[in-house]
Amino acid sequence: MVAVVARTIELPSGFSIPTLGLGTWRLLEEEGLRAISAALAMGYRHIDTAEMYNNQEIVGRAIAGYERAELFITSKVDAAHLHYDDVIATCEATLLELDTDYLDLLLIHWPNPQVPMPQTFDALAHLIDRGKIRDMGVSNFQPHRMRMALEIAPQPIACNQVEMHPYLWQDELARLCQDNGVAVTAYAPLGRKHILEDETIRMIADKHDVTPAQVSLRWLLQKGCIVIPRSTSEEHLRENMGVYDWALSGVDIAAIDDIPHRERIINAEFEEFQEG
Ligand SMILES: NC(=O)c1ccc[n+]([C@@H]2O[C@H](COP(=O)([O-])OP(=O)(O)OC[C@H]3O[C@@H](n4cnc5c(N)ncnc54)[C@H](OP(=O)(O)O)[C@@H]3O)[C@@H](O)[C@H]2O)c1
């Protein structure tokens, strides 16, 4: 029997997030517009953007013409804008750029130890109360910071978006989030292509007649994550959607868990930054 993976996960607002989304970092200008439009045309309904990506207008152009209620749009406030008024201003600017009335999810992109966390969460909660965002969340929060956040947030934290792929499974963090009803979104779910040549991944892909990218995404989905792979290629966009109608066995999952290679791809200074 094929292990079933949910296509959506309900967030604290009661609205649901699709478990497959499109990452849009570096999707810029005409190439970006083409990729996002192609993804929407083939059925993607969850788009991940950020203030920092400088592409929110392009996302706005791509989503124009789609029923807003059918889409799930995540954005992220830059670490430099976590003071109360800056969060509100960033959200307003994001809504203008996207040409939409609300965001489904707004995340703190990176923690900023210079700004007291409660004021950022108060601003996000205010945005929920005003209907500007449906859910609020965090990104790049390690366990110690996540625990603090869970204690002080005035509204539930819907999501923690963190680096996760076969070369980096953050088990303590995943358990903490899952135990507290916080959805985990795996960013760089293909390890920015580093995992695609891995021998174990390739062997499992051949066995199931799928691709290494599909194995990585399916492994993350079976571990309960949301995945947001990015691509500019129509072939890859389509391939990355093919993750719901087949399954990894327990043995496959254990084999991927046991890959000895460990690598944090985004920001090698991560731990020092977190403690800063
Ligand atoms: N919150 C954060 O701090 C944070 C940090 C990093 C990323 N993110 C989010 O996560 C998203 C995804 O992460 P990412 O963009 O860094 O990396 P990724 O999705 O792991 O990898 C993207 C790379 O994989 C290639 N690719 C995609 N599908 C493929 C396939 N089926 N076969 C072979 N190659 C494939 C793409 O090239 P082609 O264009 O040629 O397909 C691209 O070079 C970002 O776009 C962003 O939205 C968030």
Per-residue pLDDT band at 4 (split at 50, 70, 90): confident
d(CA 19, CA 140): 19
Q: Where are the domains of the chain?
A: 17-188
Q: What are the residue numbers of the active site?
A: 53
d(CA 148, CA 143): 9
Atom 31 in ligand 1: residue holding the nearest Cα:
236
The DSSP annotation for 215-242 comes to HHHHHHHHTT-EE----S-HHHHHHHH-
Choose the residue to mutate in 187, 215, 227 for probing ligand 1, maximizing ligand atoms within 8 Å of C-beta.
187
8 Å CB contact between 261 and 199 = no
User: Over 50: is that where the pLDDT of 272 sits?
Assistant: no
Does residue 161 line the site of ligand 1, with CB under 6 A? yes
Does residue 212 line the site of ligand 1, with CB under 6 A? no
User: Over 80: is that where the pLDDT of 274 sits?
Assistant: no
User: Over 80: is that where the pLDDT of 270 sits?
Assistant: no
**Residue 244 CB burial class (10 angstroms; 0-12, 13-18, ≥19):** middle
- Report pLDDT for 262: 86
The CA-based angle 73-75-79, given to 5 degrees, is 170
Residues 141-163 have a mean pLDDT of 98
Domain 17-188, CATH class in plain words = alpha beta
- Distance (Å) from CA 218 to ligand 1 centroid: 15
Atom 8 in ligand 1: residue holding the nearest Cα:
187
pLDDT digits (tens, 9 = 90+) for 21-69: 999 999 999 999 999 999 999 999 999 999 999 999 999 999 998 999 9
Does residue 234 line the site of ligand 1, with CB under 6 A? no
Global pTM reads 0.97
| Residues across the chain | 276
Choose the residue to mutate in 25, 46, 56, 211 for probing ligand 1, maximizing ligand atoms within 8 Å of C-beta.
25
The interaxial angle of helices 171-179 and 143-152, nearest 10 deg, is 20
- Report pLDDT for 2: 63
